[in-house]
Amino acid sequence: MNSADSKPDALFTIPVLRGRFAELLAPAADLGEKSSELFLVGLFSMLDALLDRHMEDALTYLPLSSDITDALLGKPGPLYHMVQLVKFYEEADWENVSQCAAKLNLDESVIPEAYIEAAKWVSDFAVAT
């Protein structure tokens, strides 16, 4: 648990992992120019739980692009499909991972390596802080 406000540490580490994972998958989905936006979508994907507010309310305080806001609010599009893929991968929901990958024209064979690299990056980051 995070002693500062009794929130589980996972509420801080999972979003960072999601962001990095989505960012690493971006080039393979021909979304390389959106990699920083994908990182932010992953990073803010649990903002509602962190702030104990509905996502829509939590987003009113942040100057985010409409693409990021739309993805976080569940409006279909490339950023939304990528964050969904990331979430489904966390849950080992392979059928939905495949469906999202198809929507993104993403070769599924690159997904496991990107996840491992993202997890290592988060682990290295956590050790450094």
Q: How many structural domains is the chain composed of?
A: 1
Residue 4 lies in a domain: no
Tell me the pLDDT tens digit for each residue of 30-61.
999 999 999 999 999 999 988 889 999 989 88
Looking at residue 118, its amino acid is: A
When pLDDT is averaged across residues 12-28 and rounded to a whole number, the result is 95
Print the domain residue range for 107. 10-128
- Is residue 65 domain-resident? yes
**Can you say how many angstroms the Cα of residue 127 is from the centroid of all Cα atoms in its chain?**
21
Is 36 within a domain? Answer: yes
pLDDT at 42: 96
Whether 1 is covered by a domain: the verdict is no
What does the chain look like in DSSP terms, one character per residue?
A: -BTTTTB-THHHHHHHHHHHHHHHHTGGGT-GGGHHHHHHHHHTTTHHHHHTS-HHHHHTTS---HHHHHHHTT--SHHHHHHHHHHHHHTT-HHHHHHHHHHTT--GGGHHHHHHHHHHHHHHHHHH-
pLDDT for the residue 100: 97
What per-residue confidence (pLDDT) applies to 129? 56
User: Tell me, what's the pLDDT at 98?
Assistant: 98
In a domain, 2, yes or no: no
Structural domain contains residue 5: no
Statement: residue 91 has pLDDT above 90:
yes
Residue 98 lies in a domain: yes
Assigned domain for 100 exists: yes
Question: With contact defined as beta carbons under 8 Å apart, do 34 and 79 qualify?
Answer: yes
